[in-house]
Amino acid sequence: MTPGTLFVVATPLGHLADLSPRGADTLRAVALVAAEDTRRTRALLSHLDAHPRLVSFHAHSPPGRLAAIVRALAAGTSVALVTDAGTPTISDPGAELVARAREAGCPVAVVPGPSAVAAALSVSGLPADRYTFLGFVPRRGPERAALLVHAAHSRWSIVLFEAAPRLGRLLVDLSVACGAERAAAVARELTKLHEEVRAGTLGELAVYYEAHEPRGELTVVVAGQSDPAPAPTPPDARERAAVLLAAGTSRRDVVRRLVEEFALPRNEAYRLVTEL
């Protein structure tokens, strides 16, 4: 039996006219659509007069959902993978489905289109020849600290997603880590009725959004450091290394853990470990 094709279909960020003709044709043609939010996708399918079977597929789906979609593909069913808005697999669980479909010998095709990352970069006024996408910001702990250190010392523009209620805190934390004068932009509700792109320094943006509570979908772009200084060793990185070494972890694995947990350059992590 010929397996079905998994189509990775980009859908509008907000403006329905941004869906490509090929994307519309694909959603009308497939037998099954795997959607992050079936309510939002059902509205899009209704707009297109498309009638595939619709199933939810997101980070909290039951364990058997992924396997069921792969079985459908293997049985010859064509499937479209869509996210709430934009390009699937960018900060959602779609990458696992793509990998499993390939493992099962099913063709995978992309139907490209809108992306909040590319859209925000294009209107930010900041360099986009090279950039780093860091996704949603961890709420707390070493992972958040490591991400902020990475953003502060990157030569490239940084793109982040953040929920509206937490934007103010993120801008303050970025101001501390990167310096309040670092250039940045906040893109809000891209392609929607209340689209807003506000550019300025991190300090200016922090003040503005403290006084103006943001709503909607947000993408933050931060300029890279033009001439980055060596990143300081986080004060608890040395302590973490000492604890790992005392527990019998090899020096090689300690170096790897420091790089992952504190975003230290590998040579800096190696130097710290050899000094202990």
| Arithmetic mean of pLDDT, 181-192 | 96
H and E: helices and strands count for the chain: 11, 10
Domain segments of the chain: what residues? 6-114, 117-222, 235-275
DSSP one-letter code for 275:
H
Residue 238 has pLDDT above 90, yes or no: no
% the chain with pLDDT above 70? 97
**CA torsion angle 162 167 19 25 (round to 10):** 30
Amino acid identity at 191: T
Residue 55 has pLDDT above 80, yes or no: yes
Number of other CB atoms surrounding residue 157 within 10 Å: 23
What gap in Å lies between CA 157 and CA 16, rounded to an integer? 29
**CA torsion angle 117 122 124 129 (round to 10):** 90
The pLDDT tens digits of the residues spanning 76-123 come to 999 999 999 999 998 777 899 999 999 999 999 999 999 999 999 999
Confidence (pLDDT) at 76: 97
Contacts 24+ apart (CB under 8 A), 41-49: 41/11, 41/82, 44/11, 44/12, 44/16, 44/19, 44/82, 47/16, 48/19, 48/24
**Is 6 in contact with 97 (CB distance < 8 Å)?**
yes
Distances (CA, A) of 180 to 47, 161, 173, 218, 268: 45, 20, 10, 20, 26
CATH 3.30.950.10 at 117-222, yes or no: yes
Residue 145 has pLDDT above 90, yes or no: no
The pLDDT tens digits of the residues spanning 172-185 come to 999 988 999 999 99
The pLDDT tens digits of the residues spanning 5-47 come to 999 999 999 999 999 999 999 999 999 999 999 999 999 999 9
Q: Which two tokens stand for residue 141?
A: 């702990």
Confidence (pLDDT) at 249: 87
Confidence (pLDDT) at 185: 98
Residue 197 has pLDDT above 70, yes or no: yes
pLDDT band at residue 269 under the 50/70/90 scheme: confident
Confidence (pLDDT) at 235: 61
pLDDT band at residue 231 under the 50/70/90 scheme: low
CATH 3.50.50.60 at 6-114, yes or no: no
